[in-house]
Amino acid sequence: MIIDKRSKIDTSIVEKGAVLLIAKPLTWSSFDVVNKIRLSLKHAFGIKKIKVGHAGTLDPLATGLLIVCIGKKTKTIDQYQNLKKTYSGVITFGAETPSFDAESDISATYPTQHIDHALIKNAIGSFTGDILQKPPIFSAIKIKGTSSYTLARKGKEVELSPRPITIYDFQCIDYSEPNLQFSITCSKGTYIRSIAHDLGKRLNSGGFLSALSRDAIGPYKLEDALSITEFQSALQQLTSVHP
């Protein structure tokens, strides 16, 4: 059962499991969303334990669609993780950060006067198709059991190997120096932060991801997703009818 804005939640959400389309708020981690949903379900139904998991992490500074699986439907997480993802956002040229996004402070600056639409369009073309991408060191990838970002934040030297990804579509929506508004459709495992960093380098400048929204996962759209508040309200209405 897929639960979105058009769905009616019933008590089978616990017994049979469900797949939720949730709009993740800015600054929340994906774990924050999962934890809030788990606690809301436990409180609403008076249960002590229920499995809840998400099908693809969004960074705290990203917003957008998060697919959350409940109960028996947690066994289907892999099938959602493997779907194409569509994002929109802003890449800011002329600067770099260690995390490749706005989470960390600017570490270097570069000129941007030479960047124009034609240069961007040409550069974007080299990022489409099957490519190798080097993940950011500020990522959850494990190195001998320790997350890469944990080592990076301690000042440890981190080296991650490039990984194969697929960029199905990459579009420049608008460019107003130094900000590029873009949309991108990509495979599982793609780091949009790395795209921002690498595109800045390709343009003989720097770049970091200053805003990001996940707009779709396969056929599932952000516009159909429930906010956390809407989900909690639906649970309250359900339990008031079926105490």
Tell me the pLDDT band of 144, cut-offs 50, 70 and 90.
low
- CATH 3.30.70 maps onto the chain at 2-82+219-241
Cβ neighbours of 213 (radius 10 Å): 19
Q: What is the pLDDT of residues 89-126, one digit of tens each?
A: 999 999 999 999 998 899 999 999 999 999 999 999 99
Per-residue model confidence as pLDDT tens digits over 187-205: 999 999 999 999 999 999 9
User: Looking at the chain, which residues constitute the CATH 3.30.2350.10 domain(s)?
Assistant: 85-136+162-217
Question: Is pLDDT at 32 greater than 90 in this prediction?
Answer: yes
Element (H, E) at 80: helix 77-81
Q: Determine the straight-line distance between the first and last CA of the chain, rounded to whole angstroms.
A: 22
pLDDT at residue 240 in the model: 65
Helices and strands (H, E) in the chain, number of each type: 7, 14
Q: Which CATH architecture has domain 2-82+219-241?
A: 2-Layer Sandwich (3.30)
Question: What are the φ/ψ torsions at residue 143 (nearest 5 degrees)?
Answer: -125, 105
Q: Residue 238 — very low, low, confident or very high, per pLDDT cuts 50/70/90?
A: confident
pTM over 0.85: yes
Question: Does the domain formed by 85-136+162-217 have CATH 3.90.1170.30?
Answer: no
List the single range of 63-77, 129-143, 149-163, 174-188 with lowest mean pLDDT. 149-163
Residue whose C-alpha is closest to residue 186's, from 176, 197, 194, 177: 194
| Catalytic positions | 59
Condensed to tens digits (0 to 9), the pLDDT of residues 156-168 reads 677 778 899 999 9
DSSP per-residue string spanning 174-191: EEETTEEEEEEEE-TT--
Whether residue 155 has pLDDT greater than 90: no
